[in-house]
Amino acid sequence: MPLVAHLGEWQGLGDRRPIIAAHFITVLVLPPRDRLYAAIDARFDRMVAAGALDEAATLLTRDPALPGMKALGVRPLLSHLRGEICLEEAVRRAKRDSRRYAKRQLTWMRHQFSAPAMLIEQYSESAHAKLFAFIRETLLTHVR
Protein backbone atom coordinates (compact mmCIF):
# COMPACT_ATOMS: atom_id res chain seq x y z
CA MET A 1 0.00 0.00 0.00
CA PRO A 2 1.48 3.39 -0.94
CA LEU A 3 2.17 5.96 1.74
CA VAL A 4 -0.58 8.55 2.07
CA ALA A 5 -0.43 12.07 3.45
CA HIS A 6 -3.74 12.16 5.33
CA LEU A 7 -6.82 10.15 6.23
CA GLY A 8 -8.93 11.58 3.39
CA GLU A 9 -6.37 10.42 0.86
CA TRP A 10 -6.30 6.92 2.36
CA GLN A 11 -10.09 6.75 2.36
CA GLY A 12 -10.13 7.80 -1.29
CA LEU A 13 -7.93 4.87 -2.30
CA GLY A 14 -10.84 2.47 -1.80
CA ASP A 15 -8.52 -0.14 -0.31
CA ARG A 16 -9.72 -0.81 3.23
CA ARG A 17 -6.94 -3.19 4.24
CA PRO A 18 -5.20 -2.21 7.46
CA ILE A 19 -2.21 0.08 7.08
CA ILE A 20 -0.16 -2.21 9.32
CA ALA A 21 -0.05 -5.98 9.38
CA ALA A 22 -1.70 -6.74 12.71
CA HIS A 23 -4.60 -8.71 14.12
CA PHE A 24 -7.09 -7.14 16.47
CA ILE A 25 -9.80 -8.33 18.75
CA THR A 26 -12.62 -6.05 19.70
CA VAL A 27 -14.00 -5.89 23.20
CA LEU A 28 -16.76 -3.34 23.60
CA VAL A 29 -17.67 -2.91 27.25
CA LEU A 30 -20.79 -0.83 27.63
CA PRO A 31 -21.80 0.89 30.85
CA PRO A 32 -25.13 -0.08 32.37
CA ARG A 33 -27.65 2.25 30.75
CA ASP A 34 -29.12 3.52 34.03
CA ARG A 35 -25.66 4.50 35.30
CA LEU A 36 -24.74 6.10 31.99
CA TYR A 37 -27.92 8.19 31.95
CA ALA A 38 -27.46 9.22 35.59
CA ALA A 39 -23.90 10.33 34.77
CA ILE A 40 -25.13 12.33 31.77
CA ASP A 41 -27.77 14.06 33.91
CA ALA A 42 -25.28 14.83 36.69
CA ARG A 43 -22.77 16.19 34.18
CA PHE A 44 -25.32 18.60 32.72
CA ASP A 45 -26.28 19.76 36.21
CA ARG A 46 -22.59 20.50 36.88
CA MET A 47 -22.32 22.36 33.59
CA VAL A 48 -25.29 24.58 34.48
CA ALA A 49 -23.86 25.20 37.95
CA ALA A 50 -20.51 26.12 36.38
CA GLY A 51 -21.99 28.78 34.08
CA ALA A 52 -23.38 27.05 30.99
CA LEU A 53 -26.29 29.49 30.97
CA ASP A 54 -23.90 32.49 30.88
CA GLU A 55 -21.93 30.80 28.13
CA ALA A 56 -25.11 30.21 26.14
CA ALA A 57 -26.07 33.88 26.60
CA THR A 58 -22.96 34.89 24.67
CA LEU A 59 -24.33 32.92 21.72
CA LEU A 60 -27.64 34.79 21.53
CA THR A 61 -26.24 37.36 19.10
CA ARG A 62 -24.20 34.90 17.04
CA ASP A 63 -25.04 33.41 13.66
CA PRO A 64 -27.41 30.46 14.25
CA ALA A 65 -25.66 28.54 11.44
CA LEU A 66 -22.40 28.31 13.40
CA PRO A 67 -21.43 24.74 14.28
CA GLY A 68 -21.31 25.56 18.00
CA MET A 69 -25.01 26.36 17.93
CA LYS A 70 -25.67 22.66 17.34
CA ALA A 71 -23.82 21.55 20.46
CA LEU A 72 -25.84 19.45 22.86
CA GLY A 73 -27.71 21.64 25.33
CA VAL A 74 -27.32 24.91 23.46
CA ARG A 75 -30.73 25.03 21.79
CA PRO A 76 -32.76 24.42 24.98
CA LEU A 77 -30.69 26.94 26.93
CA LEU A 78 -31.15 29.53 24.19
CA SER A 79 -34.89 28.84 24.20
CA HIS A 80 -34.90 29.57 27.92
CA LEU A 81 -32.89 32.77 27.49
CA ARG A 82 -35.35 33.96 24.84
CA GLY A 83 -38.18 33.39 27.34
CA GLU A 84 -39.75 30.52 25.39
CA ILE A 85 -39.38 27.88 28.13
CA CYS A 86 -38.47 27.83 31.82
CA LEU A 87 -35.00 26.83 32.97
CA GLU A 88 -36.22 23.49 34.35
CA GLU A 89 -37.68 22.59 30.94
CA ALA A 90 -34.50 23.66 29.18
CA VAL A 91 -32.41 21.46 31.46
CA ARG A 92 -34.84 18.54 31.01
CA ARG A 93 -34.63 18.84 27.22
CA ALA A 94 -30.85 19.17 27.21
CA LYS A 95 -30.49 16.05 29.37
CA ARG A 96 -32.94 14.16 27.15
CA ASP A 97 -31.06 15.19 24.00
CA SER A 98 -27.74 14.12 25.57
CA ARG A 99 -29.14 10.72 26.55
CA ARG A 100 -30.52 10.22 23.03
CA TYR A 101 -27.11 11.10 21.57
CA ALA A 102 -25.40 8.59 23.86
CA LYS A 103 -27.90 5.93 22.79
CA ARG A 104 -27.13 6.63 19.11
CA GLN A 105 -23.40 6.37 19.86
CA LEU A 106 -23.90 2.99 21.54
CA THR A 107 -25.99 1.75 18.63
CA TRP A 108 -23.33 2.95 16.17
CA MET A 109 -20.59 1.16 18.09
CA ARG A 110 -22.52 -2.10 18.21
CA HIS A 111 -22.97 -1.98 14.43
CA GLN A 112 -19.46 -0.84 13.51
CA PHE A 113 -17.54 -3.71 14.96
CA SER A 114 -17.95 -6.87 12.96
CA ALA A 115 -14.67 -8.66 13.53
CA PRO A 116 -14.83 -12.43 14.03
CA ALA A 117 -13.18 -11.93 17.41
CA MET A 118 -15.66 -9.58 19.03
CA LEU A 119 -17.45 -9.41 22.34
CA ILE A 120 -20.05 -6.82 23.24
CA GLU A 121 -20.83 -6.93 26.92
CA GLN A 122 -22.63 -4.67 29.34
CA TYR A 123 -20.27 -3.93 32.19
CA SER A 124 -20.89 -5.59 35.52
CA GLU A 125 -18.67 -7.11 38.17
CA SER A 126 -19.82 -10.56 37.07
CA ALA A 127 -18.73 -9.84 33.47
CA HIS A 128 -15.01 -9.77 34.38
CA ALA A 129 -14.60 -13.53 34.11
CA LYS A 130 -16.40 -13.65 30.75
CA LEU A 131 -14.34 -10.75 29.36
CA PHE A 132 -10.99 -12.17 30.38
CA ALA A 133 -11.94 -15.68 29.23
CA PHE A 134 -12.85 -14.24 25.81
CA ILE A 135 -9.52 -12.40 25.57
CA ARG A 136 -7.50 -15.45 26.65
CA GLU A 137 -9.35 -17.76 24.26
CA THR A 138 -8.98 -15.33 21.36
CA LEU A 139 -5.28 -14.83 21.96
CA LEU A 140 -4.63 -18.56 22.36
CA THR A 141 -6.57 -19.59 19.27
CA HIS A 142 -5.41 -16.62 17.14
CA VAL A 143 -8.94 -16.01 15.88
CA ARG A 144 -8.87 -13.57 12.98
User: pTM of whole model > 0.85?
Assistant: no
Q: Judge whether 19 lies within some domain.
A: yes
Q: Judge whether 43 lies within some domain.
A: yes
Residue 87 pLDDT grade (very low, low, confident, very high; cuts 50, 70, 90): very high
The average confidence (pLDDT) of the chain is: 83
Residue 88, pLDDT score: 97
Q: Judge whether 73 lies within some domain.
A: yes
Domain that holds residue 135: 7-141
Q: In total, how many domains does the chain have?
A: 1
Average pLDDT over residues 5-33: 70
Of the candidates 119, 120, 113, the residue with the CA atom closest to the CA atom of residue 136: 119
Higher-scoring residue by pLDDT: 47, 21:
47
Higher-scoring residue by pLDDT: 53, 17:
53
Q: Judge whether 1 lies within some domain.
A: no
**What CATH code is carried by the domain that includes residue 90?**
1.10.287.890
Query: What pLDDT, in 10s, does the model give residues 94-110?
Result: 999 999 999 999 888 77
Q: Judge whether 2 lies within some domain.
A: no
Q: Judge whether 45 lies within some domain.
A: yes
